[in-house]
Amino acid sequence: MRNIERIVVHCTATQPTATVGALLNHFRSLGWCHPGYHRVVGPDGGVTTLLADAGVANGARGFNATSLHVAYIGGLDADGHPADTRTAAQRAALADVLQTWKNRYPRARIVGHRDLSPDTNGNGRVDAWERIKECPCFEAAREYANIAAHATH
């Protein structure tokens, strides 16, 4: 198995009405052999596995070999602007996926895709103005900071 250092939370940067099929078609149109995410969470909270944990997804250039990626469908408001469009069901399902992965890979950090932007001013954090993109349109690291690996006996 790969050495998983981070669990990256994404939005699909689509309207919440997008489908998993449309996402897969988009990845194929880019010429990708693997999808951008390991799991996708629909508005109803349904989780679709696109790639096994052992596979390398195309989620965040430069970080994929040591990352797992999960996305919620959405991230754009009705006017096409970045927005946290998660439903209550998506929030719950994302937390479940993250908890499962954190139990499996206890040393992995949970981050948002935008947190992987370069820290251009060297202050030790990615400031809002340094973000390459807004994905996942909320502060994932802060929201999921309480998710810790549970010991299994």
Tell me, what CATH number does 71's domain have?
Answer: 3.40.80.10
- 8 A C-beta contact, residue 149 and residue 102: yes
Which structural domain range is residue 59 located in?
A: 6-143
pLDDT in tens, 95-117: 999 999 999 999 999 999 988 86
Rounded Cα–Cα distance for residues 115 and 104 (Å): 22
Is residue 148 in some structural domain?
A: no
Per-residue pLDDT of 17-61, as tens digits, reads: 999 999 999 999 998 889 999 999 999 999 999 999 999 999 988
Query: Burial code of 56-89, b = ≥16 C-beta within 10 A, e = fewer?
Result: bbbbbeeebeebbbbbbbbbbeeeeebbbbbbee
Show the 3-state SS of 66-79.
HEEEEEECCEECCC
Q: What is the pTM of this model?
A: 0.91
Q: What is the pLDDT of residues 70-81, one digit of tens each?
A: 999 999 999 999
Q: Is residue 153 part of a domain?
A: no
Total domains in the chain come to 1
